[in-house]
Amino acid sequence: MKVHKIALVGMPGSGKSTVGRSLAHLLGWAFHDLDAFLVARWSMSISEQFKAWGEEQFRLHERDALEQLLAQPASLVLATGGGTPVWHNQMNKLRESATVVWLDVDPDAIAQRLAQNTELRPLLASPTSTSSADSSQETLKRIQKLYKVRRSIYAQAHIHLKAIGPPEQLADELLTAIKKYTP
């Protein structure tokens, strides 16, 4: 296989970390989660980093971490943050350094997955609302808006996978697609 680095892109909640871990296991490669890397580096959650620095400064730190991980000589699978490819022309950097895979998940499915867990995804968290139904609707609207803005960037990935099914199955499907892919 000619591929030595695989970068997973997609919306928050699309399964990049879970599928990436499974794919790395199948390949016998290292797995890195960019968000986890940033959390460990700064000893703050992603939400805390957004609050402390604002999105622009967070994205600069994210870019530096991405470059550091992609510069490693070893084969690896990398789960990026949902916004990683959107900022600072990073999709081009990803495409130059790795085989990029878009895990494409329908916004409604993402909203269901994230119904109880938006704290790690600051751009999707809804302001306090009077009911959980209102909050869920707000979150769905935010997801739909982000998806609409980001999908043209994600679509630049080398491989597009409709991410429907359990993570292990998706990892198997990805492995097959990657083996067929010729850069």
Pairing of β 5-9 and β 99-104: parallel
Rounded Cα distance between 32 and 7, Å, is 10
**Domains defined for the chain, CATH in brackets:** 5-105+157-180 (3.40.50.300)
Residue found under tokens 């892109």? 9
pLDDT at residue 117 tops 50: yes
pLDDT tier for residue 130 given thresholds of 50, 70 and 90: very low
pLDDT of residue 132: 55
Letter string b/e over residues 29-54, b meaning 16 or more CB atoms within 10 A of that residue's CB: bebbbbbebbbeebeeebeebbeeee
In the chain, the amino acid numbered 179 is: K
Q: Are 8 and 101 in contact (CB under 8 A)?
A: yes
Structure tokens at 24: 């790395």
**13 three-class SS:** coil
8: left (phi over 0), alpha (psi -120 to 50) or beta: beta
Region 105-114 average pLDDT = 88
The three-state secondary structure class of 57 is helix
DSSP string, 85-152: GGSTTHHHHHHHHSEEEEEE--HHHHHHHTTT--TT-TTTPPPP-SSHHHHHHHHHHHHHHHHHHHHH
Confidence at residue 3, expressed as pLDDT on a 0 to 100 scale: 81
Kindly tell me if the per-residue pLDDT of 13 is higher than 50: yes
Is residue 100 over pLDDT 70?
yes
Torsion 14-98-48-36 (CA) sign: positive
pLDDT number for residue 181 = 87
What's the rounded mean pLDDT across residues 5-31? 96
Q: Which of 96, 146, 150 lies closest to 121, judged by CA?
A: 146
12, 5 contact by CB (below 8 A): no
State if pTM tops 0.85. yes
